[in-house]
């Protein structure tokens, strides 16, 4: 069930307008996992794609706090993660965030 947000459509997935950027690889992973909506729990704008790793890990049932882009996806082998964009300019980095740098 979607949250009460504004959504835009990319492919067959409805994306929370707060998620300003989404890559094709995470989109394909969502489609393969039969997701219909992508939303943020909190009503905050997220610029960039650093949220993708957290979404991918959630689909894999891997608990944790993650930050990084999904730069590749193969249904047989899963996602490939890339760097955290603009990590050097982030105002605050939480110690529990697991990043790929």
Per-residue pLDDT tens digits for 1-60: 688 999 999 999 999 999 999 999 999 999 999 999 998 888 888 888 989 999 999 999
pTM above 0.75, yes or no: yes
User: What pLDDT was estimated at residue 71?
Assistant: 95
User: What pLDDT was estimated at residue 95?
Assistant: 56
Return all residues near 88 (Cβ < 8 A) that are at least 6 apart: none
In this prediction, residue 65 has a pLDDT band, given cuts at 50, 70 and 90, of confident
User: What pLDDT was estimated at residue 37?
Assistant: 93
């Amino acid at each position: 069930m979607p949250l009460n947000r504004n959504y835009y459509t990319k492919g067959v997935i409805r994306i929370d307008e707060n998620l300003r950027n989404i890559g094709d690889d995470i989109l394909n992973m969502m489609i393969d996992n039969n997701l219909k909506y992508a939303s943020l729990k909190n009503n905050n704008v997220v610029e960039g794609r650093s949220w993708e790793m957290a979404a991918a890990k959630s689909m894999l049932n891997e608990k944790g706090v993650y930050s990084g882009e999904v730069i590749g996806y193969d249904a047989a082998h899963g996602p490939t993660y890339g760097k955290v964009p603009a990590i050097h300019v982030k105002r605050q980095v939480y110690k529990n965030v697991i990043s790929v740098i």
